[in-house]
Structure 1
Amino acid sequence: MAKINLRPWREELRAEKQQQFVVMLLGAVIVAAGLAFLWKSDMDARIAYQESRNAYIQTAMKQLDTQIKEIEDLKRKRDELLARMRVIQDLQGKRPVIVRVFDELVRTLPEGLYYTDLKKSGETLAIVGMAESNSRISALMRRFEESDWFNNPNLTNVAAADGARAGYSQFNLSVQQKTPEPEGEEAK
């Protein structure tokens, strides 16, 4: 006899395919949820890593800022010390100069002439003195011109003195002080 299948095979096939579709759909949703979870955890890990790097950079910047402030303070202190050292060296270097200036004033002083007033402002020395004659004033100016410590003598006034200093002439003279070049070990 012939076998006839009267069962609704098409509906069973459709129900089976629909069940497979639902299973596949659930599987895809589970895989997608798993991938989303992995992606989110990876992003969270990257964000946490970047935040830790940012925190490290911030602490390093704070340390560098404190070091920069310390360096600026040290530079300022060094500049102050160098300025003090320069002042001390200038004072040490100029200490024998005044002695030499007075020595040179005595060496350039001709006979018959004396100083009554000396004033120094900057490198200019203003001299007021008394002389027996005008030729002695000229000799003083020539000696200043030949001196290693003075130059540019400028005579501003010559007047006859009266009273107890009769026969003398009062003069006003200004001269520039110069520092001679050191000559070997003797200048030190």
Structure 2
Amino acid sequence: MILINLLPHREEKRRLRKQAFFAGLGLSAAAGLAMVVLWYGVQMQMISSQQARNGVLKDAIAKLDVEIRDVATLKGEIEALKARQRAVENLQSDRNAPVHLLNELVAQTPEGIYLTSVRHSGQNVLVTGLAQSNERVSEFLRNTNGPSPWFERPELVEIKASGRPGARDAGNAQRLFEFSMRLSLKRPQESLPEVEQGKPAAKRAAKG
């Protein structure tokens, strides 16, 4: 017996293929959406973790800023204390400066030099006097420039023939010269190390 299928089988196959296509398309869309949601969740988790780390860093930076301000304040206080200490030391040394000034002038003034005035202002000293010759003034300059532990940077301001009568030798009046020179007075902390450095050498020479 022969069976003949009179149903529209081609249309039925076409419909089944469309259903399968749309089903696959829906599954693909669902899988893509799931992947997007999963990736979004991972990104949000990473952002949250980074924000937490940023918060920790901000707190640490804030603490460091406070510590830096404290350190800067301490440095300022230390510098202020050092400045006060230097001021006290300078006052202490300046109190004895006139004594050292006069002693050093006595030690460094050569024969033939007669000092008439000494003006002391801070670390500057202005000396005026009379000299028997220009060579005596030059010697005075060399003494205060070289071995002097208390004087430095001597500068001759003026020298001229004096109208004052000088000493008489065989009935002739000796000619005198008026001069003025400027000196810088060293502070004890600047001059004492040189003196202290010379003491061991002198002791070793004495022992030898």
TM-score range, shorter chain: 0.5 to 0.7
Q: What count of residue pairs does the alignment treat as equivalent?
A: 170
Q: Distance in 1 between matches of 2:100 and 2:161?
A: 27
For the residue of structure 2 that corresponds to 1:120, the secondary structure is strand
Tell me if the contact between 1:125 and 1:174 (Cα under 8 Å) persists in the aligned partners. Answer: yes
Alignment deviations for residues 84-105 of structure 1 (CA, whole Å, 9 cap, x no partner): 3333343444454332223456
Identity, % of aligned pairs? Answer: 26
Aligned match of 1:55:
55
What is the deviation of 1:38? 0.9
Q: Distance in 1 between matches of 2:25 and 2:72?
A: 69
Aligned match of 1:164:
none
Alignment deviations for residues 12-66 of structure 1 (CA, whole Å, 9 cap, x no partner): 2223222222322221222122112112212222222232233333333322322
Aligned match of 2:199:
184
Instruction: Sort the Cα spacing of 1:118 and 1:14 in 2 relative to 1 into closer, same or farther, 3 A.
Output: same
Q: Which moved more, 1:34-43 or 1:47-56?
A: 47-56
For the residue of structure 1 that corresponds to 2:22, the secondary structure is helix
Give 1 or 2 for the bigger CA radius of gyration: 1
Q: Distance in 2 between matches of 1:157 and 1:175?
A: 19
Q: Distance in 2 between matches of 1:95 and 1:37?
A: 86
Tell me if the contact between 1:126 and 1:174 (Cα under 8 Å) persists in the aligned partners. Answer: yes
What is the deviation of 1:10? 2.1
Matches for 1:23-172 after TM superposition, within 5 Å: 23-104=23-104, 119-121=119-121, 122-126=123-127, 148=148
For the residue of structure 2 that corresponds to 1:124, the secondary structure is strand
Tell me if the contact between 1:127 and 1:172 (Cα under 8 Å) persists in the aligned partners. Answer: yes
Unaligned runs of 5+ in 2: 165-177, 201-208
For the residue of structure 1 that corresponds to 2:199, the secondary structure is coil
Unaligned runs of 5+ in 1: 161-170
Tell me if the contact between 2:125 and 2:182 (Cα under 8 Å) persists in the aligned partners. Answer: yes
RMSD: 4.2
For the residue of structure 2 that corresponds to 1:184, the secondary structure is helix
Alignment deviations for residues 68-117 of structure 1 (CA, whole Å, 9 cap, x no partner): 22222222222222323333343444454332223456676x9xx897x7
TM (norm. structure 2) is: 0.55
Q: Distance in 1 between matches of 2:86 and 2:25?
A: 89
Q: Distance in 1 between matches of 2:96 and 2:32?
A: 95
Q: Distance in 2 between matches of 1:174 and 1:143?
A: 13
Q: Distance in 1 between matches of 2:115 and 2:36?
A: 109
Alignment deviations for residues 152-172 of structure 1 (CA, whole Å, 9 cap, x no partner): 686789687xxxxxxxxxx99
Aligned match of 1:2:
2
Instruction: Sort the Cα spacing of 1:156 and 1:71 in 2 relative to 1 into closer, same or farther, 3 A.
Output: farther
